[in-house]
């Protein structure tokens, strides 16, 4: 299992209902990927309980992407707006929420979040991190070294992100003294985690597993399929039994099908036929040994 997935149980806990971690006595903050649900996000702004609304790319170098950029909302806890936003985040992976400490001003929190979208990368360039995506944020927090983890979390206070099963996970407190003023810089491990996050989320969601239960071999197999043009969810769904079968990539006919110039749907057809053959052989072997 990749190290960032293995760290998740140490850094976050499944919290169940939001009432398990949020305080109804102070407002909370929600980061929302409005681009993927623009109509629902606009409707949310008209609900009771919205105190402030800030497009996070405004007044930053990312301003040209403003219309597609995420929003930050300051909401009244247990309000109509909170309930609608909570459902969007949890059920549709459209964002996450936190309750900053009382000594963190909303403007300071906005500035902190804006600094976390562009990171120096190991290749000497800069990478845009989709911080509004719970999968990306989970990968970032799971792979960050302790000092950087503290730097990210300190102003956020109580942070909760959705899980692939549509629940909430609350991130554990970090001692403020461990925080650092170091500028955001991706390590190779963080970069790898961010690239693998969509595949890990897909597998956990489809197989009904926690992220830390996703096997590294399944992730590698899914990446192989993606590299050979098999990227549609319905195609990948049909090949999940193959991904979980040990040694499937070692079969010559599977390698030939993947490396062929055929369209993706023909590759999927060939792989499914081979998968059914392998499953039949496994059943025959089981019957013979019983």
pLDDT, tens digit (0-9, with 9 covering 90-100), for 101-123: 999 999 999 999 999 999 999 99
- What's the whole-number average pLDDT of the chain? 90
> Above 70 in pLDDT, residue 283?
no
Residue 182: its pLDDT value, please?
63
Give me the sheet containing 168-171, strands edge to edge: 12-14, 168-171, 158-162, 95-99, 28-32, 71-75, 50-55
Tell me what percent of the residues of the chain surpass a pLDDT of 70.
Answer: 92
Note the pLDDT of residue 287: 47
Please give the model's pTM, rounded to 2 decimal places: 0.90
Q: Per-residue confidence at 64, pLDDT binned at 50, 70, 90?
A: very high
**Displacement of CA 36 from its chain's centroid (Å):** 14
Q: Under DSSP, is residue 31 helix (H, G, I), strand (E, B) or coil?
A: strand
What is the pLDDT at residue 193?
96
Q: How confident is the model at residue 286 (pLDDT cuts 50, 70, 90)?
A: very low
Question: Where would I find the H helices in the chain?
Answer: 3-11, 38-45, 80-92, 106-114, 134-143, 146-153, 188-207, 216-227, 233-238, 240-243, 252-259, 264-289
């Amino acid at each position: 299992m990749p190290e960032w997935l293995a760290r998740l149980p140490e850094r976050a806990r499944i919290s169940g209902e939001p009432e398990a971690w949020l305080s109804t006595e102070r407002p909370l903050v929600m980061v929302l990927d409005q681009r993927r649900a623009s109509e629902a996000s606009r409707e949310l702004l008209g609900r009771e309980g919205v105190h402030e609304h800030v497009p996070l790319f405004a007044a930053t170098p990312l301003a040209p992407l403003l219309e597609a950029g995420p929003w930050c909302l300051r909401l009244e806890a247990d309000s109509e707006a909170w309930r609608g936003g909570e459902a969007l985040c949890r059920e549709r992976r459209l964002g996450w929420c936190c309750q900053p400490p009382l000594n963190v001003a909303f403007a300071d929190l906005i500035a902190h979040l804006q600094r976390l979208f562009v990171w120096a990368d190991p290749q000497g360039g800069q990478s845009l991190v989709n911080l509004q995506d719970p999968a990306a944020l989970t990968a970032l927090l799971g792979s960050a070294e302790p000092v950087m983890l503290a730097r990210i979390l300190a102003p956020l206070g109580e942070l909760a992100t959705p899980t692939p099963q549509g629940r909430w996970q609350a991130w554990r407190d970090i001692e403020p003294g461990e925080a650092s003023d170091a500028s955001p810089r991706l390590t190779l491990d963080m970069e790898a985690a961010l690239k693998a996050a969509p595949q890990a989320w897909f597998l956990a969601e489809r197989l009904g597993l926690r992220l830390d239960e996703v096997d590294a071999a399944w992730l590698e197999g899914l990446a192989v399929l993606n590299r050979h043009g098999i990227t549609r969810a319905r195609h990948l769904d049909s090949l999940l039994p193959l991904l979980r079968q040990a040694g499937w990539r070692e079969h010559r006919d599977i390698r030939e099908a993947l490396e062929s110039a055929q369209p993706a749907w023909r590759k999927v057809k060939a792989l499914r036929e081979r998968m059914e053959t392998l499953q039949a052989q496994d059943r025959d072997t089981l019957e013979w040994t019983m």
